[in-house]
Amino acid sequence: MVQLPIYLDYNSTTPCDPRVVEAMLPYFTKHFGNAASRTHAFGWEGEEAVEYAREQVAQLIGAEPKEIVFSSGATEAANLALKGVFEAYAAKGNHIITVVTEHKAVLDSCHHIERLGGEITWLPVDNEGLISLPELEAAIRPTTMLIAVMYANNEIGVIQPIKAISDIARKHGVLFFTDATQAVGKVPIDVNKDGIDLLALSAHKFYGPKGIGALYVRRRDPRVRLVAQMDGGGHERGMRSGTLNVPGIVGMGKAAELCRQEMTADARHTAELRDRLETGLLAIPGAHINGSTTHRLPHTTNISFPDIDANALLAALGKDIALSSGSACTSASMEPSYVLKALGVDDKVAHASLRLGLGRWTTAEEIDYAIVRISETVALLQARNVQYKNV
C-alpha cells in the first residue's frame, strides 16, 4: 500500500540521506570545534573533516580539492562567481553573456551588475529550451569577460551543450561559469573534460543538508581570479569569509561520495520511473511535455495539461502528492513560468503545467498512484471548466 503523501518535488529539495545524517551527527556534539581554530585538537578535528569533505566534493566533479570554495548554497556561489568575476576582470571589459532561462540567482545577479554599469546579453532559447551556439558565438565582444549558462534547467531539466559552449569560450579567451545545481550528482560532470572554469552546486539537491553549497574555481589553465563578496576573516583562501559550517560540509562531502558511487543506479532508476510517469500522464488528451526529451536530466519532467490551472490542480492534490508548477524559488508568484514563456509557451499553457521531480526513494507504486490521481483530478477540473463556460 502506498504511504501518503508522495514526494515528487525532488528538484525543489531532496531528503537528506540517512547515511549523510549519520556522518554529520558527531560534528554537532563530540567534534564541535571551529575549523579555523588552529591551536588545539578540537579545531584540528574540524579542519580535517572539512578538508576530507572538500576532497569528496572535488572528486564528484573531477576537480582538485583546493578548487572547492564552500558557501551557504548555490545562490551564494552564483553571486560570488558573477560579481566576483565582474570586479576582478574590470580591466578586460564589462560584458557578460547569459540565458533568459537561468535561475533567478543568476538573472538577478546579472541585473545587479547592469546597475553597476555592466552590459548583459540575454540569449534566447528555442522551443526545446536549448540555446543556439552560433548566436552565442556571435554575441561575444572584445569586452566579454564571462559566459554564464546553466548546466541543466531546474524547471524543465534540459541539459545545455556544455562542452560546445566551453569550446567557444576558450576559443575567444572568455571564462565559462555554469550553475550545475540540478545536474551535480544526477549526471556525470568533469570540469576539466567539460572545460568549465566556475561551477555552482548545492548539497540539498543531491541528498545532503540545506544551507551548504560550493563554488568550483579553476586554479590553472586558466587560473580564475575573483573578488570576494563576503568580507571578514579571510576564510576559504580569502574568497568567502565566515565560520565554516562543519556539520553541513561533512554532510555535503558524504552526499557527494554517495552520489559518485550510486549515480549510475540512481539515474537508471529515476529515468525508468520518469518514462513510466510520462507514458501514463500523456494518455490524458492534449497533455504535452515541455522542453527537450533528448537532452535532459533523468529524473525531471514538465508536463502541460489543457484547460486547467496548475494551482488548482496542486491545491487538489496537495494532501496526497507533493508537486510544483515551477521553481520553488518563484512558486509564490502568480505569473506564468518565465522558463516556459521563453520556450514560446503561451500564458494559458504555462499556467497549466506541472514540474515533477523523482528521486532515490521514489517507487513504481508511487508513480502508478500519481498517474491515477493526477489523471482523475485533471479530468475533474476540465469538466468543471467546461461546465463553467457553458453557464
Domains observed in the chain: 6-14+263-390 (3.90.1150.10), 18-257 (3.40.640.10)
SS3 349: helix
Q: pLDDT class for 387, splitting at 50, 70, 90? A: low
Q: pLDDT class for 325, splitting at 50, 70, 90? A: confident
Q: Is the pLDDT assigned to residue 335 strictly greater than 90?
A: no
Which amino acid makes up residue 119?
A: E
Q: pLDDT class for 334, splitting at 50, 70, 90? A: low
Instruction: Note the Cα 365 to chain centre separation in Å.
Output: 27
CA 164 – CA 295 distance, rounded (Å): 14
| Tens digit of each residue's pLDDT (9 = 90 or more) over 172-189 | 999 999 999 999 999 999
Report which DSSP code applies to 284: S
Retrieve residue 217's grid coordinates.
574555481
Average pLDDT, the chain: 94
Is 329 tagged catalytic? yes
| Tens digit of each residue's pLDDT (9 = 90 or more) over 33-64 | 988 898 999 998 999 999 999 999 999 999 99
Q: Is the pLDDT assigned to residue 390 strictly greater than 80?
A: no
| Tens digit of each residue's pLDDT (9 = 90 or more) over 265-274 | 999 999 999 9
Instruction: List Cβ neighbours of 370 (8 Å cut-off, separation of 6 or more).
Output: 6, 8, 277, 321, 356
pLDDT for the residue numbered 370: 98
Q: Is the pLDDT assigned to residue 329 strictly greater than 70?
A: no
Q: pLDDT class for 391, splitting at 50, 70, 90? A: very low
The 8 Å CB, 24+ separation contacts for 306-310 are: 306/349, 306/352, 306/382, 307/352, 307/381, 307/382, 307/385, 307/386, 308/352, 308/378, 308/381, 308/382, 308/385, 309/351, 309/352, 309/381, 310/351, 310/352, 310/353, 310/354
16, 110, 259, 329: which is the annotated catalytic residue?
329
CA 275 – CA 264 distance, rounded (Å): 17
HEC letters along 310-342: HHHHHHHHCCCEECECCCCCCCCCCCCCHHHHH
* Weakest-pLDDT range from 164-168, 255-259, 298-302, 304-308: 304-308
Q: Is the pLDDT assigned to residue 326 strictly greater than 80?
A: no
Q: Give the angle 101-329-112 at the CA atoms, nearest 5°.
A: 65
CA 194 – CA 343 distance, rounded (Å): 26
Q: Is the pLDDT assigned to residue 142 strictly greater than 70?
A: yes
Report which DSSP code applies to 27: G
